[in-house]
Amino acid sequence: MNRKKRTLAAHYRQGVAGEEAAAAYLCAKGYEIWGRNYRFRRAEIDILAFGDGVLVVVEVKTRTRGFYKTLSHTVSPLKIHRLVRAADHYVRAHGLDIEVRFDIIQLCGKPGNYELVHLKNAFYYF
């Protein structure tokens, strides 16, 4: 396996481990996981969770070392637009009449030893 493929595989495993840790964190906080890796067109929602009467769309960001941007700037305007479209599709496809909130969970470190930051209402769209 060449170096680029090895790096991509490691990056993918890191992301999966981060999403697992984020889902476990949400469950421990009383959220119910409704979906993972929900895809609509060119968007993917990492985690769909329900808590406090709200559907929470969670974008998970995982790094082994520190973040260079502030947490609220780790999701681009294009990514936000795609997440909103995917969330709207999910709500309509499931016939839900529910408030939607967009959160970011940032994990820094290695699996089993993450520093986790949960930013609720990371951005407003509706």
Per-residue pLDDT tens digits for 69-120: 555 566 888 899 999 999 999 999 999 999 999 999 999 888 888 889 999 9
Could you give the CA distance from residue 2 to residue 90 in angstroms, rounded to a whole number?
38
Asked if residue 30 belongs to a domain, the reply is yes
List the domain range (segments joined by +) for residue 71: 3-119
Asked if residue 39 belongs to a domain, the reply is yes
Asked if residue 124 belongs to a domain, the reply is no
pTM: 0.83
Helical spans, DSSP H, in 1-126 = 3-28, 77-93
Asked if residue 63 belongs to a domain, the reply is yes
Instruction: Indicate which CATH number applies to the domain containing 87.
Output: 3.40.1350.10
Q: Are 90 and 40 in contact (CB under 8 A)?
A: yes
Residue 2 has pLDDT above 60, yes or no: no
Among candidates 29, 30, 26, 75, which has minimal Cα distance to 47?
26
How many domains does the structure of the chain reveal? Answer: 1
Asked if residue 11 belongs to a domain, the reply is yes
Could you give the CA distance from residue 30 to residue 54 in angstroms, rounded to a whole number?
12
Beta bridge partners of 63: 108
